[in-house]
Amino acid sequence: MEGYYAYAQVRKYGRLKSERRLRVEEENPLVCDYEGSDYQKQFWECGGREYEDRAEAIALRRLTPSAGDRLLEVGAGAGRNTHRFEGFRQVVLLDYARSQLALAQQRLGASDRYLYVEADAYRLPFAQGVFDAVAMIRTIHHMVDPLAVLIQIHHVLCCEGLFLLEYANKRNVKAIARWILKKQTWNPFDRQPVEFAKLNFDFHPAAIQVWLGEAGFKITRQLTVSHFRLDWLKQRVPLKVLVSLDSCLQWTGNWWQLSPSVFIQSVATGERRPAPEGAFWRCPICDSVDIEKANQGLHCLGCQRLWPLRDGIYDFKEPLTT
């Protein structure tokens, strides 16, 4: 917490650096690692989150095009949302945790339709402009440096590429009520992020909107989601009713954002140099896009590292040759 605030003071809201940097300011920002976690089972399958899951499905259906070429899912986890991008020819699932990708692979199977990539979102291993869409759901709330990740995503999107972002909104009705009743110390109207648990951040809508603009995105649509995320409501009101009400209220997202979860659809703006013909991967160490297939994975001709492919998962965290 203390570390984060020291960092936030350097880059105060509204006065962020605007250069197009691909490297993050901190050498190694902390990453929230779900390796070995039973999050999928505990939180989604046994955690009474059916209302949230259904509300998110509706929002994604409204924001996702019915057809497309290649979509990148940043923080794909165990692939809970991947089937919701069925109109795309190929979906690339990226996560920091190999065990989560293995779960996704069990769910979705091994085929050319899905690529599984173990990598750091601060160093996306893809060439410029190779995706026509990116989705990042329930992931940015683990980011110490959200702007750095947004700039990475902008880099890998093609011109006018689509970006679907979900973030946890600190300025929600429950937080406002708790603050007024003095049951919560942090101010939901303050634009600084709040780290409510280690590496779990809630963001102010205005901060997210500024970062998107800084990274080169133009917002096209916003949906507010999970308005009724209160246990006593979920226990008393039928699921179908809550989901239907949420579905109606989602449309108000363009005007105000007071729900705990917000979905933003935006497009990547600005001129960009297309990647060289045939380039898809980018070495996260040396930035070379000169990468060829090798027996055990991908060979970077820039730094001679070998990024292994093991059990159908590309590993961009631990090269074999250094």
Q: How far apart, in whole angstroms, are the C-alpha atoms of residue 258 and residue 25?
A: 31
For Zn ion, the closer CB: 79 or 284: 284
| 320 lines the binding site for Zn ion (CB under 5 A) | no
User: By CB under 5 A, is residue 119 in contact with Zn ion?
Assistant: no
Q: Which is nearer to Zn ion, 188 or 284 (CB)?
A: 284
**Separation between Cα atoms, residue 172 and residue 189, nearest integer Å:** 9
Q: How far is the CB of 302 from Zn ion (least distance, A)?
A: 4
**CB atoms < 10 A from the CB of 281, how many?**
22
Write down the least CB distance from residue 314 to Zn ion, Å. Answer: 14
Rg (CA), the chain: 20
Query: Is residue 298 at the binding interface for Zn ion, with CB under 5 A as the rule?
Result: no
Among residues 76, 117, 289, 300, the one that binds Zn ion under rule CB under 5 A: 300
**Closer residue to Zn ion (CB): 99 or 288:** 288
Which segments of the chain does DSSP mark as H helices, in order? 2-10, 39, 50-63, 98-108, 146-156, 173-180, 205-215, 231-236, 239-249
State which residue, 120 or 132, has the beta carbon closest to Zn ion: 120
Give the separation between CA 257 and CA 271, rounded to whole angstroms: 31
Q: Is 286 in the site for Zn ion (CB under 5 A)?
A: yes
283 binding Zn ion? (CB under 5 A)? yes
Query: Contacts with Zn ion: how many residues (CB under 5 A)?
Result: 7
CB 130 within 8 A of CB 155: no
The answer to the question of residue 29 lying near Zn ion (CB under 5 A) is no
Q: If binding is defined by CB under 5 A, does position 121 make contact with Zn ion? A: no
| Tokens (6 digits) for 122 | 């601060």
> Residues in the site for Zn ion, rule: CB under 5 A?
283, 285-286, 288, 300, 302-303
